[in-house]
């Protein structure tokens, strides 16, 4: 590189450089050979700073954010040597991210319902060029999760720009709620906290948006009512999992809705009920939601009442809720037909949306066994001609591995599967090629014959 740049220089191994050239944005601790001061003034890199990354032979590989306490030592944010990491750079990134959501989701809402961009992921970490930052939109509230030192330091710049870009596009966004309470933050040396962001737009951002602080002022709680696929949900942004809801299954829930008419549906690992509610909205005869958390079951029941889906017009029960361990519940129903009838069976559509059974490569074999067992149990409970919707939400459980587990389950259950669809996460959670970690959700629908 001929130009002299004002950033500290980090030299990496040839192995790391090969990975970077293939598009992966991470440099690991053991791949760092040297970290030197900036060539212009000798400035030493501080935690969260931008650093230039070079191969041993002096080839520039990009610029990234330094994380001194993390095994992922640098996360690349740009491979363009002309980029300067000012407000204009981050505004441009936010605008690209929002344009993607509008393009991919702007015209896909169900007839007569809210725009799909009213509830969506606005920023998806590395996939959008913001490593360690996730921002979800729930109507007029943004919920942000920061997991790296670089993004922590950039919050005062990025948050106001987010508000500016969205408001300039006519979006009503009033506040940002921070869920900086993931234990993973401790690996970066960051504290844990949550609450309404108390900052305010500054500089050019304030002049552009004409907006004041995004403090959540006037809100007496973190509860919000949101709509997705025409269904209302009462969310607790402070105490719920992740940022409040699992937005990545938006269109997969519609796939279940399309299968549900006239069927008796068993929604396993139901959380607050989105698959079950979509099935009921799609005309299911009956839906049973099952989750190990009593709190989740209670919230699912409240969401059913909120949408008028718990009871049919004649007063009969249309949705039921059971607190149980699905791994024990499915075999119990198969063994006890009387219990299955009490629960609303026989079921002819089963939905399996389990939590990630593996969060590391070391436990993939154990996860394979888990996916195989729950799918086999569901297939054995379904009648011939019944339907199965099943998924995995761990990038370690690749499409090939999940397919293997499902195929083995079908063999053990002595059934054959007709695939209807193979799907992934919604496009507001974009998959960045070269970064397999961004492809983490696979979703299949089958007829069991």
- Three-state DSSP class for residue 395: coil
- Give me the sheet containing 141-146, strands edge to edge: 119-124, 133-138, 141-146, 175-180, 193-196
Cβ(404)–Cβ(357) below 8 Å: no
| Neighbour-count burial of 139, counting CB atoms closer than 10 A to its CB (0-12 exposed, 13-18 middle, 19+ buried) | middle
Phi, psi (rounded to 5 degrees) for 284: -60, 145
Closest CA to 395 of 351, 375, 425, 370: 425
Q: Which residue has the tokens 């007029």?
A: 140
Q: Catalytic: 268?
A: no
Phi, psi (rounded to 5 degrees) for 107: -115, 20
Q: Which residue has the tokens 């379904």?
A: 382
Measured distance CA(17)–CA(244) in Å, rounded: 38
Report the Cα 151 to chain-centroid distance in Å: 18
Q: Which of 119, 120, 268, 393 is catalytic?
A: 393
Cβ(347)–Cβ(315) below 8 Å: no
Measured distance CA(224)–CA(231) in Å, rounded: 14
CA-CA distances (angstroms) from residue 124 to 62, 120, 130, 156, 432?
Answer: 20, 10, 7, 18, 10
Alpha helix (H) ranges present in 210-293?
A: 250-260, 274-281
Continuous segment of H or E residues that includes residue 164? helix 149-168
Catalytic residues: 393
């Amino acid at each position: 590189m001929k130009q002299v740049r004002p950033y500290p220089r980090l030299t990496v191994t040839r192995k790391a450089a090969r990975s970077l050239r293939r598009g992966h944005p991470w440099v690991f601790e053991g791949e760092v050979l040297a970290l030197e001061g900036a060539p212009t003034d000798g400035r030493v890199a501080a935690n969260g700073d931008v650093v230039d990354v070079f191969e041993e032979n002096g080839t520039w590989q990009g610029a990234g954010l330094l994380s001194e306490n993390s095994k992922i030592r640098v996360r690349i944010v740009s491979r363009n040597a002309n980029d300067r990491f000012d407000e204009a750079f981050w505004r441009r990134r936010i605008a690209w991210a929002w344009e993607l959501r509008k393009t991919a989701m702007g015209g896909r809402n169900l007839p007569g319902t809210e725009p799909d961009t009213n509830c969506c992921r606005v920023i998806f970490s590395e996939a959008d060029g913001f490593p360690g930052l996730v921002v979800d939109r729930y109507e007029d509230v943004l919920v942000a999760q920061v997991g790296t030192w670089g993004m922590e330091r950039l919050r005062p710049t990025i948050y106001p720009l987010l508000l500016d870009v969205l408001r300039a596009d006519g979006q009503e966004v009033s506040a940002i709620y921070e869920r900086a309470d993931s234990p993973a933050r401790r690996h970066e040396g960051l504290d844990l906290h949550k609450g309404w962001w108390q900052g305010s737009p500054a500089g050019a951002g304030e002049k552009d948006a004409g907006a004041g602080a995004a403090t959540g002022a006037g809100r007496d709680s973190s509860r919000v009512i949101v709509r997705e696929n025409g269904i209302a949900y009462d969310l607790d942004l402070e105490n719920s999992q992740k940022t409040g809801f699992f937005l990545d299954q938006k269109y997969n829930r519609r796939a279940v809705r399309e299968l549900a008419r006239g069927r008796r549906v068993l929604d396993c690992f139901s959380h607050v009920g989105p698959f079950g509610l979509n099935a009921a909205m799609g005309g299911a005869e009956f839906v049973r939601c099952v989750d190990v958390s009593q709190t989740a079951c209670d919230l699912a029941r409240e969401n059913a009442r909120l949408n008028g889906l718990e009871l049919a017009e004649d007063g009969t029960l249309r949705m039921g809720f059971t607190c149980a361990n699905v791994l024990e519940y499915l075999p119990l129903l198969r063994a006890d037909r009387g219990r299955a009838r009490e629960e609303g069976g026989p079921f002819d559509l089963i939905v399996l949306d389990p939590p990630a059974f593996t969060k590391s490569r070391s436990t993939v074999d154990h996860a394979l066994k888990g996916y195989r067992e729950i799918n086999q149990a569901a297939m054995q409970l379904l009648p011939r001609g019944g339907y199965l919707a099943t998924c995995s939400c761990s990038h370690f459980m690749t499409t090939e591995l999940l397919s293997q587990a499902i195929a083995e389950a079908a063999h053990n259950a002595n059934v054959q599967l007709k695939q209807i669809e193979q799907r992934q996460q919604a496009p507001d959670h974009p998959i960045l090629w070269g970064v397999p970690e961004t492809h983490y959700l696979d979703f299949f629908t089958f007829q069991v014959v």
